[in-house]
């Protein structure tokens, strides 16, 4: 067997394992975090609820996958897979440290965004395929939301790519090595608006991963459960895991683009531990935000993107381009 | 006001069935909506899923036997409804109530009002997608329920008031607990103001959304916080005083914005006013018996037509009692506030987006068992 | 333009305030009780289903006057009695007297609304509220309590 293929297989297996384990235990973390915020313990039977995720998994897998009458069977079955698969594939190109990376690509950033936009396809197909009015409304919402938030996200990424001159995630992270002052979140002469960019990117990744306060596609108090109303069993499980995998990717991307990847804030002992620490801190803030704020409206969400995020990120792009020419 | 105006093309609408099992309706209310995309063109509320004939029960049972029924109307603010009932029968049968009993009644009703508004607050924010405020509200409500349980013996359906007085007396523990509760609740209200009222997402979702004009409120007979949010200064406790309410110094919060935010603010201010009433009630609480010395053994109101209205957490609740002189009522009509408030929804939600409409429905504070008596 | 930016900044500030509140709550102790492992004591006035009270002889105080059955709004109490004749000596004469004896006191708890009318109607203090709240079953018949038997079980 060719060594590169073997490499790829191993990488994908590790990526699947990492994504699945993350998804399972992030559910636990989310539930326990929500519990603490609401001053209740959360799942705490058997050693802090350590067995909760595997038992949940067993429960989901042993249930019957009910396909509603009149549903488009093919789309209905494809959608959950489409939600999970791109998320796992994206892990392949994410560098956890300068040595731990499955496949370092020149166009890593582009690849992740390409796969991330497949996520909205999954929601669209799920909503359309399950033949439920609530689901269709949710999927329509999701698509408009994803389009609106990919634009400021990509503009922000363009700004950073312009500054560093590379689309390789590994090189992007390496360009920030050497302490907190080199990180992209800290404003520099050529890019004074970088903290704002970070905020925009953070908000967009909340919206892209369908997290509260932007969880319009599964607004449970209006659309029951949105696009996965009709899903049970592992179909629902895959959507759920896909969502958490997307969160991990979003947090990793923020870490690489803005927070110096695996670099230490003081420039000491860079390594995978710093990367994971930053990623899980970001995920904690995702959880924290979800359990604090109410949901936005459809038009509020679109207004935020088109009237605030896009103009500001465009302005930042132009400003950075101009300043890069000056300095 | 709420989103842009749309042109409706014939044949492009679909019917959406919200409920009877839907998270936003808080019970078994069904709303048939004619939708154009996310916009509601026409909505029709359908009732009757949990109708239990409380009025008929009131007619074929002896008067004391109806007492437990009244707390089953509104499971969140049961005390206010039983208050209306006992006041109506006392007025009809001419029973004198000792002063201590009157004060305890007022304290209990106001505590229950705070509990009811707290739960509404939590459920309303949950309608908008925020889950945590519900848990904080339930924490505070739990203190009230514990106090009420220690006195009445149950947590939701109290059945505490009796014709002429009370089921049993309050003790010093209750008075101390209630006194300790007031400053704690005031602190919590500040927390809610910072966490929810000031939040930009929350404000954007409520301000100028769900307009209910004063004329509409009058047309449908809306009362309570819904009417007060539309600028109608009407509170039965002030306008047709009953019990010992004239002795208390409290304000009736009125807002003129007519939107969901106004209704929200009215209820938040009402909690503060209820705390004031409880404070004064505890200070003024006289000693004495809790049941009248002479009370008729069998309650038989003289022939006649009686009406008593009280201000419950949801609005003006009225009991019309027609007595033919026997031990059963001839007619026992309940005027429930939510029934009138809910019918505003059909007209008000036309042309709104579904998420705004459901937010407005939350601001009406619907308790379905009370609509479907 | 000024309003545009001030709205953004005030909005962000309000969000930060909210986040700071939930962050503070994160470190406060939990307020719930882990129910099946730890239970709360019911308060003295807790209204559970009714229970008969025994007199000093270990027999029910109930004299079968039927006031509770008549007062119950939901008709969930059914009492069965039998009449016993016995002879007493009154002023040197033997007289036959009749006495009602309680033979069965059944409570259909499925329809009981825990209003307490029965206890208020009882002139003899023969019934009380139990403090039991862990009542669950998959069968309706489990809630048809025979209170006389329950009293015997408590005594034995």
DSSP string, C30-87: P----TTTS-PPPPTT---SEEE-B-TTSSB------HHHHH-TT--EEEEEEEEEEE
pLDDT single digits (tens) A70-96: 788 888 888 888 888 888 888 878 887
Note the residue count of chain C. 156
**From residue C37, how far is each of A35, A52, A106, B135 by CA, in Å?**
18, 18, 56, 22
Contacts of C25 in chain A (CB under 8 A): 36-39
Tokens representing A68? 């509603």
Give the DSSP letter of residue A103. -
**Quick one: C150 exposed, middle or buried, by C-beta within 10 A (0-12, 13-18, 19+)?**
middle
Q: What is the helix (H) or strand (E) element at residue A55, kind and residue range?
A: helix A52-62
Could you read off the pLDDT of A278-311 as tens digits, one per residue? Answer: 888 899 888 888 888 888 888 888 888 888 888 8
Q: How far apart are CA B109 and CA B144, in angstroms?
A: 11
Decide: B79 and B307 in contact? Cβ < 8 Å: no
Instruction: Find chain B residues with C-beta within 8 A of A217's C-beta.
Output: none
**How far is C-alpha A22 from the chain's CA centre?**
12
Contacts of B24 in chain A (CB under 8 A): 221-222
Tell me chain A's radius of gyration from C-alpha atoms: 20
Cis peptide leading into residue B20 (ω within 30°): yes
Residues of chain A neighbouring C18 (CB-CB closer than 8 A): 292-293
The answer to whether the CB atoms of B201 and A295 lie below 8 A apart is yes
User: What pLDDT, on the 0 to 100 scale, is given for residue B2?
Assistant: 46
Best of A206, A211, A213, A222 to disrupt the B interface (most B CBs within 10 Å) is A222
**What DSSP character marks residue B22?**
B
Residue-wise pLDDT tens digits, C46-82: 888 888 888 877 777 888 888 888 888 888 888 888 8
Which residue is it, tokens 């409500």? B141
Contacts of B139 in chain A (CB under 8 A): 39
Count of Cβ atoms closer than 10 Å to residue B137 Cβ: 24
Residue A102 has a pLDDT of: 66
Spell out the domain ranges in chain B: 14-335+349-371
Q: Which residues neighbour C59 within 8 Å (Cβ) at sequence distance 6 or greater?
A: none
Q: CA of A165: how far to CAs of A158, A324, C72, in Å? A: 10, 11, 84
CATH tag, C50-155: 3.30.70.3270
Cα of A41 to nearest chain C Cα, Å: 6
What ranges in chain B are assigned the alpha helix state H? 54-59, 63-70, 78-93, 99-127, 132-152, 172-192, 200-206, 214-220, 224-229, 236-239, 260-284, 337-342, 344-348, 354-363, 368-371
Measure in Å the smallest separation between the Cα of A289 and chain C Cα atoms.
Answer: 7
Do the beta carbons of residue C45 and residue C107 sit within 8 Å? no
Taking alpha carbons only, the member of A251, A253, A246, A23 closest to residue A119 is A246
Please name every residue paired with B306 in a beta bridge, in sequence order, or none if there are none.
Answer: B321
Residue B116: partners with Cβ closer than 8 Å, 6 or more residues away? B74, B76, B77, B313, B314
User: How many angstroms away from the CA of A39 is the closest CA of chain C?
Assistant: 4
Spatial distance between the Cα atoms of B80 and B312, rounded to a whole number of angstroms: 5
Across the interface, whether the CB atoms of B65 and C117 are under 8 A apart is answered yes
B284 burial (CB, 10 Å; 0-12 / 13-18 / 19+) is: middle
- For C69, other C-beta atoms within 10 Å of its C-beta total 16
Locate all alpha helices (DSSP H) within A209-309, ordered by sequence. Answer: 233-258, 272-290, 298-303
Q: Which residues contact A17 (CB under 8 A, 6 or more apart)?
A: none
Question: Is the pLDDT at C138 greater than 50, yes or no?
Answer: yes
Measure CB to CB from residue C30 to each of A40, A293, A308 and give the nearest one: A40
Give the pLDDT of chain B (373 residues) as one tens digit per residue. Answer: 444 455 556 667 888 888 788 887 777 888 888 888 788 888 888 888 888 888 888 888 888 888 888 888 888 888 888 888 888 888 888 888 888 888 998 999 999 999 999 999 988 888 888 888 888 999 889 888 988 888 888 888 888 888 888 888 888 888 888 889 999 999 999 988 888 888 888 888 888 888 888 888 888 888 888 888 888 888 888 888 888 888 888 888 999 888 888 989 999 999 999 999 998 988 888 888 888 887 777 788 888 888 988 888 888 898 998 988 888 888 888 888 888 888 888 888 888 888 888 888 888 888 888 888 7
Q: Is the pLDDT of residue A1 over 60?
A: no
3-state class of A214 per DSSP?
Answer: coil
pTM: 0.87
Domain boundaries, chain A: 66-326
Q: Tell me what ipTM this predicted complex has.
A: 0.83
Q: Are strands C127-129 and C93-108 parallel, antiparallel or unpaired?
A: unpaired
Alpha carbon B54 to its chain centroid, in Å, reads 18
Cβ atoms of A204 and A312 within 8 Å: the answer is: no
Eight-class DSSP state of A212: T
Phi and psi at A18, nearest 5°, equal: -65, -45
Interface test with A, best of C26, C32, C35, C37 (most A CBs within 10 A): C26
Contact B106, B248 (CB under 8 A): yes
Sheet holding B329-335, edge to edge: B304-312, B315-323, B329-335
Residue B194 has its nearest CB partner, among C11, C12, C17, at C17
Distance CA A244, CA C4 (A): 34
Q: Which two tokens stand for residue B186?
A: 């005031």
Rg (CA), chain B: 21
Q: Do B65 and C14 touch (CB under 8 A)?
A: no
Contact B64 C117 (CB under 8 A): yes
pLDDT digits (tens, 9 = 90+) for A182-239: 777 777 777 777 888 888 888 888 888 888 788 877 777 777 777 888 888 888 888 8
Class of domain B14-335+349-371: mainly alpha
Q: Do A292 and C18 touch (CB under 8 A)?
A: yes
Token readout for B122 is 């939590």
Virtual torsion, Cα B225, B226, B229, B235, nearest 10 deg: -40
Tell me the two tokens of residue C21: 């509140």
Q: Could you tell me how far CA C107 lies from the centroid of its own chain?
A: 12
For residue C46, give the chain B residue with the closest CA: B153
Structure-token match 């006191």, residue found: C105
- Interchain pair A291, C29: CB under 8 A: no
- Residue length of chain B: 373
Contact B153 C45 (CB under 8 A): yes
* Chain C residues touching residue A44 (CB < 8 angstroms): 34
Residue A2, pLDDT score: 56
- Residues A252, A256, A259, CA angle at the centre, nearest 5°? 105
Are A298 and B38 within 8 A, CB to CB?
yes
Nearest to B162 by CA among B89, B223, B86, B247: B86
The answer to whether residues B256 and B231 touch, using CB atoms and an 8 Å cutoff, is: yes
Interface of C with A (CB under 8 A): 8, 15, 18-19, 21-23, 25-32, 34
Rounded to the nearest 10 degrees, the angle between the axes of helix A233-258 and helix A272-290 is 120
CA of B251: how far to CAs of A136, A185, B29, B238, in Å?
Answer: 48, 51, 33, 9
On the question of pLDDT at C88 being above 80, the answer is no
Give the mean pLDDT of chain A.
82
Asked if A204 and A149 touch (Cβ cutoff 8 Å), the reply is yes
Tokens of A272: 């995978």
B149 phi-psi bin (left φ>0, alpha ψ -120 to 50, beta other)? alpha
Chain C residues whose beta carbon lies within 8 Å of the beta carbon of residue B152: 45
B167 in reach of chain C (CB within 8 A): yes
Each residue of B248-283: pLDDT tens digit?
Answer: 888 889 998 888 889 899 999 999 999 999 989 888
Give the model confidence (pLDDT) of C108-128 as tens digits.
888 888 888 888 888 888 888
Tokens matching residue B321: 């009692």
């Amino acid at each position: 067997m060719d060594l590169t293929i073997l490499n790829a297989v191993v990488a994908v297996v590790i990526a699947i394992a990492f994504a699945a384990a993350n998804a399972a235990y992030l559910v636990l973390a989310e539930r326990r975090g929500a519990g603490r915020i609401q001053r209740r313990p959360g799942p705490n039977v058997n050693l802090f609820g350590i067995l909760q995720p595997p038992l949940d998994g067993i429960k989901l897998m042993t249930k019957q996958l009910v396909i509603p009458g009149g549903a488009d069977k093919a789309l209905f079955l494809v959608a959950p897979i489409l939600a999970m698969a791109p998320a796992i594939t994206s892990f392949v190109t994410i560098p956890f440290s300068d040595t731990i990376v499955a496949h370092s690509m020149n166009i890593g950033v582009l690849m992740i965004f390409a796969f991330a936009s497949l996520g909205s396809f999954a929601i669209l197909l799920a909503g359309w395929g399950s033949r439920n009015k609530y689901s269709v409304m949710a999927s329509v919402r999701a698509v408009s939301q994803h389009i609106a938030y990919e634009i400021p996200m990509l503009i922000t990424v363009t700004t950073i790519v312009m500054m560093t001159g590379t689309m390789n995630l590994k090189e992007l992270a390496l360009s920030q090595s050497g302490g907190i002052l080199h990180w992209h979140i800290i404003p520099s002469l050529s890019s004074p608006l970088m903290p704002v960019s970070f905020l925009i990117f953070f908000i967009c990744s909340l919206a892209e991963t369908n997290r509260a306060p932007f969880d319009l596609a599964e607004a449970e108090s209006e659309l029951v459960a949105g696009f996965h109303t009709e899903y049970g069993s592992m179909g629902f499980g895959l959507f759920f895991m896909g969502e958490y995998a997307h969160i991990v990717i979003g947090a990793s991307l923020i870490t690489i683009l803005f927070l110096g990847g695996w670099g230490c804030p003081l420039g000491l002992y860079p390594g995978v531990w710093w990367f994971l620490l930053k990623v899980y801190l970001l995920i904690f803030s995702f959880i924290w935000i979800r359990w604090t704020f109410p949901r936005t409206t459809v038009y509020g969400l679109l207004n935020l993107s088109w009237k605030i995020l896009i103009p500001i990120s465009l302005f930042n792009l132009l400003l950075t381009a101009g300043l890069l020419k000056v300095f | 006001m709420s989103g842009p105006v749309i042109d409706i093309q014939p044949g492009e609408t679909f019917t959406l069935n919200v409920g009877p099992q839907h998270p936003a309706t808080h019970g078994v209310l069904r709303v048939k909506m004619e939708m154009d995309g996310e916009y509601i063109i026409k909505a029709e509320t359908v009732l009757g899923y949990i109708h239990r004939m409380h009025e008929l029960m009131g007619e074929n049972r002896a008067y004391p036997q109806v007492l437990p029924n009244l707390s089953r109307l509104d499971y969140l603010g049961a005390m206010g409804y039983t208050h209306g009932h006992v006041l109506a029968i006392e007025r009809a049968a001419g029973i004198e109530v000792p002063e201590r009993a009157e004060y305890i009644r007022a304290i209990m009703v106001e505590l229950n009002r705070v509990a009811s508004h707290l739960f509404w607050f939590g459920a309303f924010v949950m309608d908008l997608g925020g889950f945590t405020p519900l848990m904080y509200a339930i924490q505070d409500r739990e203190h009230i329920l514990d106090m009420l349980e220690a006195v009445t013996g149950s947590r939701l359906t109290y059945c505490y008031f009796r014709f002429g007085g009370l089921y049993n007396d309050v003790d010093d523990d209750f008075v101390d607990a209630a006194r300790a509760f007031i400053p704690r609740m005031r602190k919590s209200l500040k927390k809610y103001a910072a966490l929810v009222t000031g939040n930009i997402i929350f404000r954007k979702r409520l301000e100028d959304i769900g307009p209910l004009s004063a004329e509409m409120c009058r047309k449908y007979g809306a009362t309570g916080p819904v009417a007060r949010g539309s600028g109608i200064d009407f509170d039965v406790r002030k306008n047709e005083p009953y019990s010992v309410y004239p002795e208390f110094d409290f304000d009736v919060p009125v807002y003129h914005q007519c939107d969901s935010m106004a209704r929200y603010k009215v209820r938040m201010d009402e909690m503060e006013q209820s705390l004031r009433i409880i404070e004064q009630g505890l200070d003024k609480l006289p000693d004495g018996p809790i049941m009248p010395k002479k009370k008729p053994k069998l309650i038989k109101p003289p022939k006649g037509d009686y009406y008593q209205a009280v201000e419950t957490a949801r609005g003006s609740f009225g009991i019309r009692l027609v007595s033919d002189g026997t031990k059963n009522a001839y007619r026992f009509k309940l005027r429930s506030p939510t029934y009138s408030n809910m019918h505003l929804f059909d007209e008000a939600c036309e042309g709104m987006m579904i998420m705004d409409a459901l937010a407005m429905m939350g601001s009406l504070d619907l308790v379905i068992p009370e609509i479907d008596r | 333009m000024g309003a545009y930016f001030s709205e953004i900044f005030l909005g962000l500030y309000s969000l930060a305030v909210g986040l700071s509140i939930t962050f503070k709550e994160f470190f406060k102790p939990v307020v719930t009780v882990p129910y099946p492992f730890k239970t709360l004591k019911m308060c003295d006035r807790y209204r559970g289903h009714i229970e008969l009270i025994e007199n000093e002889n270990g027999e029910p105080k109930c004299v079968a006057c039927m006031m509770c059955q008549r007062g119950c709004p939901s008709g969930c109490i059914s009492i069965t009695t039998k009449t016993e004749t016995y002879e007493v000596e009154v002023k040197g004469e033997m007289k036959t007297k009749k006495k009602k004896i309680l033979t069965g006191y059944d409570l259909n708890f499925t329809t009981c609304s825990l209003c307490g009318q029965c206890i208020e109607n009882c002139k003899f203090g023969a019934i009380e509220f139990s403090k039991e709240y862990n009542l669950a079953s998959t069968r309706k018949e489990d809630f048809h309590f025979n209170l006389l038997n329950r009293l015997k079980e408590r005594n034995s």
